[in-house]
Amino acid sequence: MIDLHCHLLPGIDDGPATPRETLRLCRLAVADGITHAITTPHIHPGRWHNTKATIAKDCRKLQRALAKRNIPLQVGFAAEVRLTDEIMQQVESDEIPFYGEVDGYHIMLLEFPHGQIIPGSDKLVRWLLQRRIRPLIAHPERNKQVMKDPTQLTPFIKAGCWLQLTAGSVTGNFGERAQTVARQLLDEDVVAVLASDGHNSGARRPALAEAFEYITEHYGGSRAKRLMLHNPATIAASQFQTEAQAPC
């Protein structure tokens, strides 16, 4: 499986604090059946000051550490970009790392604030799309406003955004409401990707296998492969050379 949203780099956001913890997370991901991971540190002005250049440097360090220890996890990088007014400036100064390109659009992991969808977000999304940047919206099922009213997502889907659910939401780790909304979005078949959003080796592990099993049982094996293998492989194709596998 391919995990398109996880926090693996040490000491640069609320993911692992040390290189040792990073390697622990990578081993957990491998044990769970993840062969490829795109680490997505937060870019959040005023909180996490990461840029494409700094993330790239840390990711190369991690790739070397994994190779040295023969840990069979291919890693690449993008970022979880908080939706703020500063995105326009960040895009123009080329500070945002994208996953890769699909049908002429760069794919960007975009995070709404947890409590709400800020008025004007639709305009910002259209501004991105006009520049051929397609937002992959991170865990909309955990946004309080979407939890209250999932139709709040409709304008974003219609505009051309893709959706990424957190694997743990689907299996109930983020509460009943997040699970209900996640299932509703799966029922409507408007989800592009399931990812772990793993942060640590405790309750927020980089793990997908349980969700893969759940999706297989409720929506079929081909849906599980589409969400956790084929779509992620297409989105991050330029970052990986070796082929990912589904658990069997």
Chain contacts with Fe ion (rule: CB under 5 A): 80, 197
- Closest residue to bound Fe ion by CB: 197
**Of residues 111 and 219, the one with the C-beta less far from Fe ion:** 111
Beta strand spans in the chain (E): 2-6, 36-39, 42-43, 74-77, 80-82, 101-102, 105-111, 133-138, 162-166, 193-195
153 touches 188 (CB < 8 A): no
Smallest distance from Fe ion to CB 162, Å = 16
Of 60, 66, 122, the closest CA to residue 97 belongs to 60
Nearer to Fe ion, 78 or 128 (CB): 78
**Is the CB of 41 or the CB of 219 nearer to Fe ion?**
41
| Shortest CB 80 distance to Fe ion, Å | 5
Q: How far is the CB of 159 from Fe ion (least distance, A)?
A: 22
- Name which of 54 and 216 has its Cβ closer to Fe ion: 54
| In the complex, least distance from residue 221 CB atom to Fe ion, rounded to whole angstroms | 27
Distance separating alpha carbons of residues 85 and 161, to the nearest angstrom: 18
Q: Which of 103, 34, 42, 47 shows the shortest CA–CA distance to 73?
A: 34
